[in-house]
Chains A and B, each alone.
Chain A
Amino acid sequence: MNNKLIEMRSISKTYHTRTVLDDFSLYVRENEFLTLLGPSGCGKTTLLRILGGFETPDSGRVFFEGKDITDLAPNKRPLNTVFQNDTIFYHMSVADNIAFSLKIRGVSRAAIEDEVEKALHLVGLDGYGDRMPDTMSGGQAQRVQIARAIISRPKVLLLDEPLSALDLKLRQSMQYELIRLKEELGITFIYVTHDQEEALTMSDTVVVINGGRIQQIGRPEDIYNEPQNAFTADFIGDGNIFDALMIRDELVNILGTDFPCVDVGFGQNNPVDVIIRPEDVELVDPDKGTIRGVVTSVLFRGVHYEMDVLAHGYHWMARSTRMVPEGTEVGIMIDPFNIQVMHKPTRPDQETFTHA
Chain B
Amino acid sequence: MRRRSWLAAPFILWSAAFIIIPLLLIVYFGMTDGDGAFTWSNLAAMAEVDNLKALGLALLLSLSATLICLILAYPIAMILAERRTSSGTLIAMLFILPMWMNFLLRTMAWQTLLEKNGVINTLLHVLRLPSVTLIYTPSAVVLGMVYNFLPFMILPLYTVLSKIDRDVLLAARDLGAGPWQTFLRITLPLSTPGMISGITMVFVPSLTTFVITDMLGGGKVQLIGNTIEQEFIQGSSWHVGSGLSLILMIFVLISMAFVAKYDPQQSGSLIGGGGRE
Minimum CB distance partner of A73 in chain B: B173
List of B residues within 8 angstroms of A149 by Cβ: 174-175
B57: interface (CB < 8 Å): no
Instruction: From B170, B174, B176, B186, give the contact of A89 (CB < 8 A).
Output: B186
Check A91–B190 contact: CB distance below 8 A. Answer: yes
Q: Which residue of chain A has the shortest Cβ distance to B177 in the bound complex?
A: A104
The CA of A205 and the CA of B171, in the complex, are separated in Å by 26
B277 within 8 A of A: no
Contact of B189 among A53, A75, A91, A152 (CB under 8 A): A91
Query: Which chain B residues border A87 with CB–CB below 8 Å?
Result: 165, 167-168, 170-171
Cα of A101 to Cα of B177 in the assembled complex, Å: 7
Q: Distance (Å) between the CB of A150 and the closest chain B CB? A: 11
A328: chain B residues at CB < 8 Å are none
Q: Is A81 positioned at the interface, with any CB of B under 8 Å from its CB?
A: yes
**CB pair B171 A83 closer than 8 Å:** yes
A208-262 at interface with B (beta carbon < 8 Å):
none
Contact between B167 and A83, CB atoms less than 8 A apart: yes
Task: Evaluate contact between B165 and A85: CB separation under 8 angstroms.
Answer: yes
Which residues of chain B are near A176, meaning CB under 8 Å?
Answer: none
Distance, CA A86 to CA B186, complexed state (A): 15
> Is A52 within 8 A of B174, CB to CB?
yes
Indicate whether B172 reaches chain A with its CB closer than 8 angstroms.
yes
0/1 string, A287-307, CB within 8 A of B gives 1: 000000000000000000000
Q: Which residues of chain B come closer than 8 Å to A86, judged between CB atoms?
A: 165
B75 within 8 A of A: no
The answer to whether A105 has its CB under 8 Å from any CB of chain B is yes
Do B165 and A74 have beta carbons less than 8 Å apart?
no
Q: Which of B170, B185, B186 contacts A74 (CB 8 A)?
A: B170
Residue A194, interface by CB 8 Å? no
Fill in one digit per residue for A132-171: 1 if any B CB lies within 8 Å of its CB, else 0.
0000000000000100110010000000000000000000
* A353 interface residue per 8 A CB criterion: no
Interface check B89, CB cutoff 8 A: no
Q: Which residues of A contact B176 (CB under 8 A)?
A: 75, 101, 104-105, 152
Docked-complex contact B170 and A100, CB < 8 angstroms: no
Residues of B within 8 A of A53 (CB): 173-174
Closest CB in chain A relative to B180 CB, distance in Å = 11
B189 (CB) vs chain A CBs: closest residue: A91
CB distance from A82 to the nearest CB of B (A): 9
Chain B, 153-211, CB within 8 A of any chain A CB? 165, 167-168, 170-178, 181, 185-186, 189-190
Q: Tell me the B residues contacting A by CB distance below 8 Å.
A: 165, 167-168, 170-178, 181, 185-186, 189-190
Interface positions of A (Cβ within 8 A of B)? 52-54, 73-75, 77, 80-81, 83, 85-91, 100-101, 104-105, 145, 148-149, 152
User: Can you report 19 residue pairs joining A to B where beta carbons are below 8 Å apart?
Assistant: A54-B173, A74-B173, A74-B174, A75-B177, A77-B174, A80-B175, A83-B167, A87-B165, A87-B168, A87-B170, A87-B171, A88-B168, A89-B168, A89-B172, A91-B190, A100-B175, A100-B185, A101-B176, A104-B175
User: What 9 pairs between A and B have smallest CB-CB spacing?
Assistant: A87-B171, A101-B175, A74-B173, A104-B176, A87-B168, A101-B176, A91-B189, A85-B167, A81-B174
